[in-house]
Structure 1
Amino acid sequence: MSKLERDMNSYRAKLNLYTKELRKAKRDSWARHCESIENTSEAARLRKVLASNPTTPGYIKHPEGSWSNSSQETLELFMETHFPGCKNTDIPGSKQSNLLESTQQELNIEQIITEQKIIWAINSFKPYKSAGPDEIIPAFLQNALNVIVPWLRVIFTSCIKLRYVPMSWRKVKVVFIPKAGKPTHSTAKDYRPISLSSFLLKTLSRRTSMCTRK
């Protein structure tokens, strides 16, 4: 590019015009996106993106009126309130049950766990639902169907035959959401728990539960 003054001035003017048009296109695109939102889940996702200070539980009151003294105590109070009797235990391993012996039972499993039915189960989830501890959202599975479905069929079939659920699938992430309409959110009962588990387990569960209802 020529470094003559008139050429540099022309370059700067065109660069400024390009920058203005780019900003305008971004604003118009964002406006169209916001106007296209029609359901609650999309609006909630947008709010989460825009929230600079997302709502997180801090210190809350015990039933007798005293306040929790730490974040750990707050979490323990949430667990006692919403999951009474639940204990944190270390499970070093899990015994596998014997393989199903009945040929008829094995035949039924092969009919239930088919590649077409696994694809149906995976596609029944909304692509960007919140993931469990494994951080796998449905969109990941939906965009890799050709690769993962044959492997999932083998894994799901083995899970049922062995009556065994992989340890990583048993982990659940719980998020406590403030209940709408509450004047304050100072007690554990002012929140509701959302349990986020693995979509691999949900796929197997949805596949087998649909066949059970039939």
Structure 2
Amino acid sequence: MSSMLTVCNTGSTPTFVTKNRAEVLDLTLCTNHMSHSVTNWKVHKDTSFSDHRLITFQVDREYSTHPSHYRNVRNATWDKYVVHLDKSLSEIPHKLPTTYSVVVERAISSAFECSCRLVMRSSTRRQSWWSAELTSLRKLAKRSHKKALRSKSASDWSASKEATRAYKAKIRSSKRASWRKFCSEVNNLPAAMRLHRVLKGSKSHQIGSLRKPNGEFTSTPGEALNVLFDAHFPDDVNISHRHQNTDPSLVLEDDDLETRIVTEDRVREAIKSFDPYKSAGLDKIYPILLQRGIDILVPHLKNLYSSSLKMGHVPSRWNEAKVVFPSKPEKEDYTSAKSPT
């Protein structure tokens, strides 16, 4: 109870099995607020190529982290995209920046959906290092293990261990050969950067339990977000409502200043500077969508930025962001609210 963790194991099926032992050694733990979401906990009796048996369970959530369908922006029909975008933005009255930004965003998204078909996300992906020999060795290891479980003889257990050892050795050699081939084919900067990130081991961290100022730990994602908010914005009150109204102190007194700061040439230059297939934000708009429709979008974006600057009004959509928690070298403790960047 003091650690706020719950054991998810059910039943008494052994999780660790050898020729002379069968015990429950493996535990599945989760936080208290997630315990009701963990269902169908099960120990599989199939060969796992280890003394520890495979354990699976299901986490019931209200959302799916991996949508079953997606659109590949590289396969979009750009002529169709431009035509639909031009039609959607042909007659838009000049309104407040918030309304204007929503209309432009929806026009881009709608044009993309009409020009790029929805495809099913594959649930399986063949590994480049897999081979027919590995398939044969895996079948042999499974047969040997099942035979050893039935007979319980020392000779059959030795044969099972030897078959499993040969199978794992072949996996390691195949992975090494595939990795060498991949490294030898790196011939451009983007591929080299991806390889560098893999070797460096950098990864993003999800928000977990954070330590509160009183020493206790958060138990829900919402509570963790509140701790982060209080740590990074200690003096900012009612920030969630600030974008809803225009701030008079930000209104420009010079009527021509926004026209000198925001020009179509500058907007066009900024759009062209993006990497075409850079990851999209929360609006799911890739830079290539702006670049392909640049002649149509530049006048609207110029008006939008000018209006926002002149009125001192930031569209509510622009106040939303996706926060990533990168790892830091030789840092293992991420329970402090000051750790995320």
* Unpaired runs of at least 5, structure 2: 1-129, 132-177
- Per-residue CA shift, 1:17-75, capped at 9, x if unaligned? xxxxxx99xx8xx937972464699529976xxx9x96312112224432222222112
* Correspondence for 1:189: 338
* Correspondence for 2:323: 174
Larger C-alpha radius of gyration, 1 or 2? 2
Find the partner of 2:235 among 79, 85, 98.
85
Cα distance in 2 for partners of 1:158, 1:42 equals: 39
Find the partner of 1:65 among 191, 206, 215.
215
- Per-residue CA shift, 1:92-141, capped at 9, x if unaligned? 842486x9676xx42x5434332221111222333444544333333322
Which of the pair has the greater relative contact order for Cα pairs under 8 Å at 6+ separation? 1
* Correspondence for 2:205: 55
* Correspondence for 1:17: none
Find the partner of 2:262 among 96, 102, 113.
113
Q: Is the CA contact (8 Å cut-off) linking 1:61 and 1:186 kept in structure 2? A: yes
- Per-residue CA shift, 1:155-210, capped at 9, x if unaligned? 22333333333222233333333333213223222322xxxxxxxxxxxxxxxxxx
* Correspondence for 1:211: none
Count of matched residue pairs: 160
Q: Secondary structure at the match of 1:68?
A: coil
Q: For the structure 1 residues 33 and 41, does the alpha-carbon distance in structure 2 shift closer, same or farther, using more than 3 Å as the test?
A: closer
Cα distance in 2 for partners of 1:34, 1:55 equals: 30
TM-score when scaled to structure 2? 0.37
The amino acid across from 1:162 in the alignment is M
TM-score when scaled to structure 1? 0.55
Q: For the structure 1 residues 68 and 37, does the alpha-carbon distance in structure 2 shift closer, same or farther, using more than 3 Å as the test?
A: farther
Cα distance in 1 for partners of 2:216, 2:253 equals: 57
* Correspondence for 2:182: 31
* Unpaired runs of at least 5, structure 1: 1-22, 193-214
Task: Flag as ranges the 4+ runs of structure 1 deviating above 6 A.
Answer: none
Q: Is the CA contact (8 Å cut-off) linking 1:178 and 1:190 kept in structure 2? A: no
Cα distance in 1 for partners of 2:185, 2:297 equals: 34
Greater Cα offset, 108-117 or 142-151: 108-117
Cα distance in 2 for partners of 1:96, 1:182 equals: 41
Q: Percent identity?
A: 28
Over aligned residues, Cα RMSD in angstroms?
Answer: 4.2
